[in-house]
Chain A
Amino acid sequence: MTETTSARTTAAPEATGPKPAHPALEFLRAFARNQSAIIGLILLAIVLGTTFLGPVFYDVDPYSMVDMPFVAPGGDYAPLGTDYLGRDMLAGIIEGGRATLAVGAAAAVISVVIGILIGSLAGYFGGWIDAALMKVTEFFQILPTLLLAMVLVTIFGATLVTITIAIGAVSWPQVARLARAEFMKIRKLDYVQAARTAGARDAYLIFRVILPAALPPLVVAAGLAVGAAILFEAGMSFLGLGDPNTMSWGLIIGQNRNYLLDAWWTVTLPGVAIFITVLAISLVGDGINDALNPKLRRR
Chain B
Amino acid sequence: MDPVLEITDLKVGVDTGRQVQSVLDGVSLKLTPGKTLGVVGESGCGKSMTALSTMGLLPDRFAVSGGSINLMGEDLLAAKPARMRELRGNAISMIFQEPMTALNPVLTVERQIAEVVELHQGKTGAEAREIALEMLRAVQIPSPEDRLAAYPHELSGGMRQRVMIAIALACRPKVIIADEPTTALDVTVQAQIFRLLRELQEQTETAIMLITHDLGAVAEMADEVAVLYAGKCVESGPVREILSNPSHPYTRGLMACTPRLRLGAAAASAAEEGLGEIPGMVPPLGRFPKACRFAPRCALADARCHAEAPPLVPAGPDHSALCWHTDKMEQVA
A residues within 8 Å of B by Cβ?
13, 15, 19-20, 126-127, 189-191, 193-201, 204, 209, 212-213, 294
Contact = CB atoms under 8 A, between A and B. Distances in A.
B179 to A, nearest CB: 10
A148 to B, nearest CB: 35
Interface in B152-170: 153-156, 159, 164, 167
B105 A199 contact: no
B60 A197 contact: no
Given A15-B159, A190-B98, A191-B104, 9 more contacts: A15-B156, A190-B102, A191-B101, A191-B103, A193-B96, A194-B103, A194-B167, A199-B87, A199-B116
Contacts of A189: 101
A15 B105 contact: no
B101 A199 contact: no
Contacts of A212: 106
Interface string B309-325: 00000000000000000
B89 interface: yes
A199 B156 contact: no
A198 B116 contact: yes
Contact of B55 (A126, A197, A201): A197
A12 B102 CA distance: 21
B6 interface: no
A11 B88 CA distance: 39
B88 A199 contact: yes
Interface residues of B, number: 33
A194 B94 contact: yes
Contact of A197 (B93, B101, B115, B146): B93
26 contacts: A13-B153, A15-B150, A19-B146, A20-B154, A191-B102, A191-B104, A191-B105, A193-B96, A194-B96, A194-B102, A194-B104, A194-B164, A195-B104, A197-B89, A197-B93, A197-B94, A198-B88, A198-B93, A198-B115, A199-B88, A199-B89, A199-B90, A199-B119, A199-B120, A212-B106, A213-B106
Contacts of B98: 190
A272 to B, nearest CB: 40
Contacts of A204: 119
A132 to B, nearest CB: 16
Interface in B28-77: 55, 57, 60
A201 B156 contact: no
Interface in B119-165: 119-120, 146, 150, 153-156, 159, 164
B86 interface: yes
A209 B155 CA distance: 20
Contacts of A13: 153-154
A121 to B, nearest CB: 16
A284 B88 CA distance: 43
Nearest to B106: A212
B85 interface: yes
Nearest to B87: A199
Nearest to A188: B59
Which of A13, A193, A204 has the most CB atoms of chain B within a 10 A radius of its CB?
A193
A127 B94 CA distance: 26
Contacts of A196: 57, 88
B167 A198 contact: yes
A20 B146 CA distance: 12
Contacts of B119: 198-200, 204
Nearest to A209: B104
Contacts of B90: 199
Nearest to A17: B154
A201 B86 CA distance: 10
A154 to B, nearest CB: 45
A197 B86 contact: no
A126 B60 contact: yes
Which of A15, A20, A204, A213 has the most CB atoms of chain B within a 10 A radius of its CB?
A15
Given A15-B159, A209-B104, A213-B106, A193 B57 contact: yes
A197 B154 contact: no
Contacts of A19: 146
A190 B102 CA distance: 4
Which of A15, A198, A212 has the most CB atoms of chain B within a 10 A radius of its CB?
A198
A294 B90 CA distance: 34
